[in-house]
Homo-oligomer: A and B are copies of this chain.
């Protein structure tokens, strides 16, 4: 499903660019130069022309390239382009920067925009933009536009939803690039001096950095429970009774491990907030920094929550598939056979019926509430909520989901925890293990809602400090003008 923006064809890159005459881009418009004639260069030229800029392209072989560019762009030699333009985009592979050495003079005092990208994450080498700046010490180099692909330039939205990271040492040069960003329909983000260019060059190369820890921890939890259930449900009957239950591996064992991973991960979403609150309570201040791992954990709660939701949704689909399987059918038929042979007219067990009905409805409710949470994580939906609504959804609804999911697990377990036969290989039933973290979180939350703790926490978060409580509190300081979003959000 490759991206193809939903905008109408008309609004891509300016319709009828052949009609854009000098009346649109008059003599006052700044003249933008582009060195290089690759895909990026051509897409940039088109977008610049469509946005009303005059464009001059510098090529080593102007005659061969002229047909690739829009009519309004002038294609000439590199020397000529560098001389004419006020601001020059350097759209060459960095390995060819040295071929530009002859342009030092015409480019002196001008703004150069380095749009290059690496192919690997660069942790210690000099950035390409700094290399360019070393080559042209008399020009002002600005890093930018590397996060935008040629494809985005031609077909992407113009509504400012795409950010362009820029940096550079000259604020005048940066402002010129910022203006172009705005005109082209991007949102510029100034990240400081040219020394942060390496980070900008790395930006398009990261692969879901904020998803990695939550994904890995969910995976580890899942694999642990998979192994645990494999031991209990597949290996145990094989070893003790010689019964082969290996057919359970693709569906049944997965379907017990998925909800285990979901519930534990959901509890892990709320655990760091509790730890933060307890730390603040024991420190008696909110001005001490949390340890790094806690900060990081707090920042990744959204991703953890979405991992939990994904596991829960997959668990729902797996569960719904259960009655469809051949194995379920064969078991049912064999049971019917046995019932007939035994002459047992009614097999109804009221307790089992009730357990299952409660268990199912709690599961459905938990999934429903989690779905609302997941939807409110979509960027546009989250943006349309005010602070109180957001905290209501994430805190109230989130804890509601945790409580319902815990009850769902409890009704699943029912009295099995008391049955010695369930302790196969001396291992307790899975659901007892699963419940440890969510029950700890819910108890911790309960403790924090006791009046003594809640009141003190509230005061600490309004700026009160135990160490200064005896001194005269300066009223104008340590206050919070805006609505403060609790970092711990408990």
Q: Is the CB of B379 within 8 A of A482?
A: no
- Does chain B have a CB within 8 A of A470? no
Excluding A37-B479, A39-B484, A330-B349, 7 further A-B contacts by CB distance (< 8 Å) are A1-B377, A4-B210, A15-B199, A117-B482, A159-B187, A247-B350, A327-B356
Q: Is the CB of B322 within 8 A of A324?
A: yes
Q: Is the CB of A481 within 8 A of B65?
A: no
- Does chain B have a CB within 8 A of A223? no
> At the interface with chain B, which of A92-100, A429-437, A438-446?
A92-100
Query: Of B89, B314, B333, B392, which one neighbours A332 at CB under 8 angstroms?
Result: B333
Q: Is the CB of A482 within 8 A of B208?
A: no
Query: Of B159, B210, B326, B380, which one neighbours A163 at CB under 8 angstroms?
Result: B159
Knowing A6-B379, A333-B347 are in contact, say whether A479-B325 is a contact too (CB < 8 A).
Answer: no
Q: Is the CB of A269 within 8 A of B189?
A: no
Query: Of B199, B204, B340, which one neighbours A387 at CB under 8 angstroms?
Result: B204
Residues of A238-253 contacting chain B, CB below 8 A: 247-251
Q: Is the CB of A191 within 8 A of B16?
A: yes
Q: How many residues of A contact B (CB 8 A)?
A: 187
Closest to A350 in B: B247
Question: In the complex, which of the residues A159, A160, A204 has the most CB atoms of chain B within 10 Å of its own CB atom?
Answer: A159
Q: Is the CB of A324 within 8 A of B320?
A: yes
- Does chain B have a CB within 8 A of A290? no
- Does chain B have a CB within 8 A of A137? no
Q: Is the CB of A209 within 8 A of B8?
A: yes
Q: Is the CB of A6 within 8 A of B210?
A: yes
Q: Is the CB of B360 within 8 A of A251?
A: yes
Q: Is the CB of A1 within 8 A of B301?
A: yes
Query: Of B16, B90, B269, B347, which one neighbours A334 at CB under 8 angstroms?
Result: B347
Closest to A328 in B: B323
Chain B residues with CB under 8 A of A91: 479-482
Interface string of A373-410 (1 = CB under 8 A from B): 11011111111101111101010001000000000000
> At the interface with chain B, which of A22-30, A226-234, A419-427, A449-457?
A22-30
Query: Of B9, B60, B287, B349, which one neighbours A326 at CB under 8 angstroms?
Result: B349
Knowing A1-B373, A152-B485, A165-B11 are in contact, say whether A386-B147 is a contact too (CB < 8 A).
Answer: yes
**Complex CA distance for A150 and B377, rounded to whole angstroms:** 19
Residues of A288-346 contacting chain B, CB below 8 A: 298-306, 308-310, 314, 316-327, 329-330, 332-337, 339-340, 344-346
Chain B residues with CB under 8 A of A321: 319-320, 360, 364
Chain B residues with CB under 8 A of A191: 10-11, 14-16
**Complex CA distance for A192 and B147, rounded to whole angstroms:** 27
Chain B residues with CB under 8 A of A60: 474, 476-477
- Report A461 CB to chain B, min CB distance, Å: 9
Chain B residues with CB under 8 A of A163: 7, 11, 158-159
- Does chain B have a CB within 8 A of A179? no
Query: Of B169, B303, B356, B481, which one neighbours A38 at CB under 8 angstroms?
Result: B481
Residues of A213-271 contacting chain B, CB below 8 A: 247-251, 254, 269
Q: Is the CB of A381 within 8 A of B379?
A: yes
Query: Of B160, B199, B203, which one neighbours A160 at CB under 8 angstroms?
Result: B160
Query: Of B10, B90, B317, which one neighbours A481 at CB under 8 angstroms?
Result: B90
Chain B residues with CB under 8 A of A308: 1
**Complex CA distance for A165 and B474, rounded to whole angstroms:** 30
Chain B residues with CB under 8 A of A373: 1
Question: In the complex, which of the residues A1, A174, A382 has the most CB atoms of chain B within 10 Å of its own CB atom?
Answer: A1
